[in-house]
Amino acid sequence: MTSHEIKIHFQQYASVEELNEPDKALCLESVKALQNSHSPYSKFKVGAAMRLQSGRIIYASNQENVAYPSGLCAERVALFYWGANHPGDPIESMAVTAHSDEFKIIKPVTSCGACLQVLAEYERKQGRAIKMLLYCQGGPVWAATGIESFLPFLFFEDRLTQPNQTPAIRHLNLVGEGGNKNL
Ligand SMILES: [Zn+2]
């Protein structure tokens, strides 16, 4: 048996004011995206704003459904829209924020595993890491570039075709004697 430790890195900014101008602007755009949230069931609005290389901003929000599993998170609404309409214009960054009329949100909202898996898919498709900005209005912002910062054990396509080769965690900073190449 060998034991391993995975370290992830992210930056915390005390407020949106500490960000550089483009990142701050994108966070503020994510607030605009909240207005089209369709969330009558959770009453928890999530807005996402995604900046593409061209400068285009894609807005998205969570879209719920009375048949609960039919709804979709803001992040995947943005990503699938991008995949269907602008796949040649790489995604640079995505800001995500949330709002509830029922309680005060004091921490950045973090994306669900399914959204992170989709983010990873498109990072690979475009060959470029995506910067995530998780913005708590009136509170901190968490930032990290590269989805593996959030979801170290991604499901990669190599698991479908070469199960005993190239480890999915090869990009990670494994602690230990050079990492275990056989994971
Ligand atoms: Zn999600």
Write down the domain spans for the chain.
11-150, 152-183
Sign of CA dihedral 31, 64, 126, 113: positive
Rounded to the nearest angstrom, the distance between the alpha carbon of 115 and the centre of ligand 1 is 4
Rounded to the nearest angstrom, the distance between the alpha carbon of 179 and the centre of ligand 1 is 31
What SS3 class is residue 166? Answer: coil
**pLDDT at residue 152 in the model:** 81
**Each residue's pLDDT tens digit, 105-153:** 999 999 999 999 999 999 999 999 999 999 999 999 999 999 888 888 8
Whole-angstrom Cα Rg for the chain: 17
Domain 11-150 CATH assignment equals 3.40.140.10: yes
Q: Judge contact between 88 and 126, C-beta under 8 A.
A: no
**Each residue's pLDDT tens digit, 17-73:** 999 999 999 999 999 999 999 999 999 999 999 999 999 999 999 999 999 999 999
pTM: 0.85
Rounded to the nearest angstrom, the distance between the alpha carbon of 61 and the centre of ligand 1 is 11
Q: Catalytic amino acids? A: 75
**Each residue's pLDDT tens digit, 81-109:** 999 999 999 999 999 999 998 999 999 99
Q: Judge contact between 116 and 147, C-beta under 8 A.
A: yes
d(CA 97, CA 37): 11
Rounded to the nearest angstrom, the distance between the alpha carbon of 47 and the centre of ligand 1 is 11
Beta strands, E only, 10-147? 11-13, 44-52, 57-61, 91-100, 131-135, 141-145
Strand 57-61 vs strand 11-13: parallel, antiparallel, or unpaired?
unpaired
Rounded to the nearest angstrom, the distance between the alpha carbon of 104 and the centre of ligand 1 is 20
Quick one: DSSP state of residue 170? T
